[in-house]
Amino acid sequence: MTATTVADIVVDGLARATTPRIFTVERASSVVAVSQAVERRRLPIVSADSGATATLMAAVTGELADAPGAVILAAADEARAGLRYASASRAPLIALVERSVGAEAASLVKGVVEAEPMSAAHWIAHAVQLAMRDPRGPVVVRVARDAATEAALPVRTSLRPAVAPPSSAALDDAARLLVSAARPVLVVGLECRTGDAGGWLRPFIETLPAPTLTTLKGKGVLPDPHPLAFGLVGSAVGRSLLERADLVVTVGVDAVELQSRPWPITTPLLHLGRTSHADALGAKVELIGDIALTLEELAPRLRARSRADWDVAELDRLKRSVTALARPERSRESRVLHIARELMPAGTIATVGSVAHVDAAAAAWPAVAPNELLIDAELPDFASAAAVASALHHADRQVICVTSTPALDAIERLACSIVTVSLGPVPASRGGVATVTARDEATLRVALDRFVRQKGPVLVDASSIED
């Protein structure tokens, strides 16, 4: 009988945490013991072109799966861009590395642990809990080459961190704020993308009723076509609503999502979330706990509330202006997304990056569920990496990738059904990827309409469309 190794214990911990697949790079074959353990556990393993790309794919998978994404690398330093993204996006991620972790990489993660024969089960469980504990983020697990093949003792451990409910006193304080508010505005953030939060949030919003804004990561939690959905918190419409509000309610908003407080400093704030952000957000009252449970506990306390005193005609005018903002703007990204949104089936996931005008691009892609728009302003490899992660995790859904730096190798190798719209130079080598050139918006529309339901990778060269 083959002995259970440290590598087996680590991989088993990821499998029990419901990690759907593990990413790596070809040159990480030096971590062969861990890769072999993945194969024995029959977890899918996906090779990327670089450590940064593999880490990005794993981080996006963590966002989509509500479970830790995982990547196997020789060294954490080659994953810095992906670790930085995971940290900023609150994406749960486990990076399994062979070599010691440098100071720069260590500064980007929530923690670094080492899996050893006597304690491997404990440390992988600790790493998973740390990655999933709010605020979520990346954790590095070092599995040294010599230690990976040593025998280890399997130990059952708890992997999911428990979230304590808010106290009755805090719920009563929050209810008093809501009952007395005449013009509340809700701001929905990234913590609402997972669990049952979205299902409880919609009736809560409609009961108040309250106009609702979202952060970029919270987009789609309340479907954009909903009459009380008013777009992004940083938009002109958002600022107008926040200036009129007599109470701001942030639901699942992480402080990392806001560069500054977009509401007047004198407006009282009620924060509902899994993590406290009292200092950053300036909350008068906080309810910290499971968001769905918090909303459920709040509901009976709001029976004495009168309906909100928003001017219905004014809200209608603002909603129409939000709809107008979703029409094509001058940027190519927003025009391409607008055309694609018209032609793509419901449930299509759009990945975009890098993009200068994030808000304009986001407005051009109305979302009806969380994570239907994955966008990054800085990372040139983000859109293609996120598209692959999305196509693997949601094999039944269409994915469109809008980018100036298309990366087709992994898309072709994995035969992902991704429509890549390139706004920059296309790769000279395109292998078996079906390619069509769109010289203007009319031919782009024809091309997307033709390929929208085609299985397999498609490249649309839209670099000739004027900016």
37-48 per-position pLDDT tens digit? 999 999 999 999
Any idea of the CA torsion for 53, 55, 58, 62, to the nearest 10 degrees? -130
Please write the tens of the pLDDT for every residue from 75-106.
999 899 999 999 999 999 999 999 989 999 99
Among 330, 440, 347, 328, which Cα is nearest to 400's?
347
Core vs surface per residue 208-239: b (16+ CB within 10 A) or e: bbbbbbbbbbbbbbbebeeebbbbbbbbebbe
Cβ(445)–Cβ(315) below 8 Å: no
pLDDT of residue 84: 97
C-alpha span between 177 and 173 (Å, rounded): 7
Tokens of 137: 């983020």
The dihedral over CA atoms of 211, 216, 218, 219, expressed in degrees to the nearest 10, equals: 70
Mean pLDDT calculated for residue range 112-140: 95
Query: Is the pLDDT reported for residue 17 higher than 60?
Result: yes
- The whole-angstrom separation of Cα 193 and Cα 92 is 13
Contacts of 431 (CB under 8 A, 6+ apart): 408, 409, 412
| Cα dihedral sign, 70-71-74-80 | negative
Query: What is residue 5's DSSP assignment?
Result: B
The arithmetic mean of pLDDT across residues 153-160, rounded, is 69
Backbone angles phi, psi at 297, to 5 degrees: -70, -30
What sign has the CA pseudo-torsion 55, 56, 57, 61? Answer: positive
**Which residue stretches of 133-235 are H helix?**
145-148, 168-180, 197-207
Q: Give yes or no for residue 355 having a pLDDT over 60.
A: yes
Number of residues written out for the chain: 467
CA atoms lying within 13 Å on the CB side of residue 92:
28
Give Cα separations from 282 to 88, 180, 267, 352 (angstroms): 21, 19, 10, 32
Domain spanning 6-148 has what CATH number?
3.40.50.970
**Is the pLDDT at 334 greater than 80, yes or no?**
yes
Question: What average pLDDT does range 8-19 have in this prediction?
Answer: 95
CB 186 within 8 A of CB 214: no
Q: CA-to-CA distance for 448 and 235, rounded, in angstroms? A: 29
pLDDT exceeds 80 at position 338:
yes
Secondary-structure class of domain 168-324 per CATH = alpha beta
373-427 pLDDT per residue, tens:
999 999 999 999 999 999 999 999 999 999 999 999 999 999 999 999 999 998 8
The predicted structure's pLDDT at residue 277: 93
> Is 60 within 8 Å of 69 (Cβ atoms)?
yes
326-461 topology per CATH: Rossmann fold (3.40.50)
Instruction: Please tell me the distance from the alpha carbon of residue 364 to that of residue 371, in angstroms, as a whole number.
Output: 15
Is-same-fold flag (168-324; 326-461)?
yes
| CA dist., res. 463 & res. 112, Å (int) | 43
Give the C-alpha distances (Å, rounded to integers) separating 466 from 57, 359, 401: 31, 20, 19
Q: Where are the domains of the chain?
A: 6-148, 168-324, 326-461
**pLDDT tens digits, residue range 257-282?**
998 899 999 999 999 999 999 889 99
pLDDT at res. 360: 87
Residue 330: predicted pLDDT: 67
Comparing C-alpha atoms, which of 102, 47, 93 is closest to residue 70? 93
The pLDDT value recorded for residue 304 is 80
CB distance 334 to 357 below 8 Å: yes
pLDDT at residue 173, rounded to an integer:
96
**How much is the pLDDT for 452?**
82
pLDDT of 160 > 70? The answer is: no
Asked if residue 430 has pLDDT above 80, the reply is: no
With residue 213 as reference, give the H or E element that holds it. strand 212-214
Three-state SS for 394? coil
Sign of the dihedral defined by the CA atoms of residues 448, 452, 454, 455, in that order: positive
Q: Report the amino acid identity of residue 366.
A: P
Mean pLDDT, range 164-182, rounded to an integer: 93
Contacts of 320 by beta carbon, 8 Å cutoff, 6+ apart: none
